[in-house]
Structure formats: C-alpha cells, structure tokens
C-alpha cells in the first residue's frame, strides 16, 4: 500500500506472472459523485480503463474531496474503501489522475462548497501533477478555472446516447473510423467556439449533443470529456428512474424527458403510459408501478475506449523513458489541510 491507501489491481492481458512493479501504472481516481453513485462510478471507470488498455497492469488509488457534501453512508463507503483526501494525492506517486464530475447544486460553480478545494487540485495538476482526465462537470470546472470559460445553461437536459465523430487529426482519434456512441447527462454546455477561442482542440463532436472530447497542452496534455464514455448500459436508465422519482416526490416540477436514442420502441411506449399516469396521479407511491427497464446493449464498446487507451499508452511510454519511476511531486505552498 502507498500512504495507507488500498490498492486496486487490474489484471493485465496475459496475467501477472511477468509483471514487475516498475511496469505497473498508478492511476488516481478523484471520485466526486454523490453517495449513491460512489461504488458504481468506481466500477465504471475500472472497467473503462481495463477495456481501453487490457495489456497494462493498473494500480488504482481512490480519493475524495474533503469539502464534498457527504452523508453517513457515503462517509462509511470512503472509510471502507480506504479513500484518501486531496492531501494524500500530493504525496502519492501517480502516473495519471482522473477527476470525475458530480451533480451541481449551484448555477455558478464557484459557489459550490468544494470549489476552493477543487481549484487547488487543478492548480497542482497544472503546475506539479501528472497527466489528467476531467470528466463532465470536472471538465466544466477546469476550463472555468484555467481559462474563464463559462458553461451555458441548456433549454432542456442533454440526456441520452449520441453519435460523435472525430473533427480533428490527433493521435487520440487516429483509430476512430466512424460514429461512436457516447452517453451525455447534463444541463449545461461548453461550445466548440468557446473552447477553440481559448486554445483548446476539439476532438469529437455530435450535431445534436455538441463537443465530447477535447484537449489542451499545458505542462502535460490534459484530456477533457463533456460526455460519459465510462457509463455502462444501465446508467442512463437508472438516472431516468431517479429523475422520475424526484418528480413524484415533488422535488422537481417537470416530468423528465426520456434519454434519447436509448429505449426500444416497446419500452418507450410503456414509459410514456407511465408518464401520463404519473402526471394525473402524482405521488411517490406510484414508483412501485414504474416499468422495468432493460438496459440496451451499447455498440462499439472498443471504439469508445480507444482514445483513452492511446492516452494511457502515451503515459506509459513517457514513464518508460523515465525508467519506470513516477515523480513524487511536491504539494503547492498554502494548500489547505484536510
């Protein structure tokens, strides 16, 4: 173990017999998701990385922001799974870092309770840390902090599976030969124009969903995604069910739209009938009659993971050039203690 954090190992293709410790890629996951999604988020990112680079031996290190609102169950999960605080990130030997999003509570991200701690992490990544991937809200927060790019509210939730195509010649998209389905679940957007004006390179785009993947070269190449390539087939269905429950409970005023390009025709018909009934008989107890959701089979799984695999192999190559040693990066002066 490193710094008392639990190790999570992904078995490389071919097994562990010939793997040396110096060949293991150490990846940190800053899991900012809500309590109920902590475990599923871990599982999704583990599987996505394993699918992206099955030949690489991966050791995961889990972290959570100290200021991220948590309930009792969430805190128990952090303890049980040996999550570290941000201070531990700065003292752990990492080759790459993934920062997840979370459901925003404020229109202005700078008003979120974790903003100061999150931006301290961003500053460390930019000045001292390893290559990093920012997912969904973390991507919005990062470009706001780095370059002052404000996300723009959408008229309706961008929710569903959308086919993205490469729009730039770049090593990360070199293997993409056709449309790639990516899940989106967000109320805000950053346009391609705003990103390009600030020096970001947009890599993948969908006409009905906008930008997914984009990059910017700073000290390291930083990778950003507005979508959720890590999502499993059931995730959008779970989120839709959660949003329906919130409507029936009265915490949301508008019945949610179904995720686009997700349900079969028969499922959509059953859910539409339930929607009409829910709007007539609005009550939480109606959730007992919510139709069963059969997760769709998401196609082109390998293509979804290919850009991540290229990114990880680039990191591994750079690491090999440094004799397999992760640099122990010093923490920035003035960082808050957890």
How much is the pLDDT for 333?
42
Could you list the active site residues? 136, 228, 230
Q: What is the pLDDT of residues 112-122, one digit of tens each?
A: 999 999 999 99
DSSP string across 94-143: -SEEEE------SSSGGGSTTHHHHHHHHHHHHHT---EEEETHHHHHHH
Confidence label for 219 from pLDDT (cuts 50, 70 and 90):
confident
pLDDT for res 310: 96
Whether 219 and 329 have beta carbons less than 8 Å apart is answered as: no
Rounded to whole angstroms, the Cα distance separating 213 from 155 reads: 22
pTM exceeds 0.85 for this model = yes
Give the mean model confidence (pLDDT) for residues 142-155.
Answer: 97
C-alpha to C-alpha distance for 326 and 136, rounded to whole angstroms: 27
Q: Give the model's pLDDT for residue 257.
A: 97
With a cut of 50, say whether residue 148 has pLDDT above it.
yes
Task: Tell me: pLDDT of 321 over 90.
Answer: no
| Alpha carbon distance 113, 266 (integer Å) | 43
Mean pLDDT of 170-179: 92
- Rounded to whole angstroms, the Cα distance separating 200 from 9 reads 33
Tell me the percentage of the chain whose pLDDT exceeds 90: 80
Q: Where do the domains of the chain lie, and which CATH numbers do they carry?
A: 8-232+300-321 (3.40.50.880), 235-289 (no CATH)
Q: What is the pLDDT of residues 61-105, one digit of tens each?
A: 999 999 999 999 999 999 999 999 888 999 999 999 999 999 999
Residue located via tokens 């998209």: 173
pLDDT digits (tens, 9 = 90+) for 2-59: 333 344 555 545 454 455 777 899 999 999 999 999 999 999 999 999 999 999 999 9
Identify whether the C-beta of residue 55 lies closer than 8 Å to the C-beta of residue 13.
yes
Give the mean pLDDT of the chain: 89
Taking residues 174-185, report their average pLDDT: 93
* Rg value, the chain, Cα: 20
User: Are 210 and 226 a contacting pair, CB within 8 Å?
Assistant: yes
């Amino acid at each position: 173990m490193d710094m008392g954090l639990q190790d999570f190992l992904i078995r490389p293709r071919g097994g562990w017999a010939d793997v040396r410790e110096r060949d293991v890629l150490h990846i940190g996951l800053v899991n900012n998701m809500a309590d109920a999604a902590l475990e599923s988020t871990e599982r999704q990112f583990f599987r996505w990385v394993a699918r992206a680079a099955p030949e690489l031996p991966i050791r995961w290190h889990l972290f959570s922001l100290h200021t991220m609102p948590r309930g009792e169950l969430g805190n128990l999960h952090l303890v049980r799974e040996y999550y570290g605080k941000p201070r531990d990130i700065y003292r752990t030997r990492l080759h790459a870092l993934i920062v997840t999003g979370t459901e925003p509570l404020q229109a202005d991200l700078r008003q979120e309770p974790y903003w100061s701690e999150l931006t301290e992490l961003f500053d460390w990544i930019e000045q001292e840390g390893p290559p990093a991937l920012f997912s969904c809200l973390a991507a919005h927060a990062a470009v706001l902090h780095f370059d002052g790019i404000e996300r723009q509210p959408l008229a309706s939730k961008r929710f569903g599976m959308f086919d993205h195509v490469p729009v730039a010649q770049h090593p990360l998209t070199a293997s993409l030969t056709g449309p790639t389905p990516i899940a989106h679940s967000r109320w805000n957007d950053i346009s391609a124009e705003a990103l390009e004006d600030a020096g970001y390179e947009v890599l993948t785009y969908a006409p009905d969903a906008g930008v997914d993947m984009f990059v910017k070269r700073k000290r390291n190449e930083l990778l950003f995604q507005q979508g959720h390539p890590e999502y499993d087939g059931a995730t959008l269905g779970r989120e839709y069910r959660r949003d329906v429950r919130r409507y029936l409970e009265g915490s949301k005023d508008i019945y949610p739209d179904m995720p686009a390009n997700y349900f079969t025709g028969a499922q959509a018909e059953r859910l539409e009938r339930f929607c009409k009934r829910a709007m007539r008989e609005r009550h939480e107890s109606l959730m007992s009659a919510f139709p069963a959701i059969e997760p769709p089979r998401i196609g082109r799984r390998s293509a979804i993971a290919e850009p991540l695999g290229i990114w990880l192999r680039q990191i591994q190559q750079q690491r090999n050039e440094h004799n397999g040693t992760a640099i122990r990066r010093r923490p920035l002066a003035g960082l808050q203690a957890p």
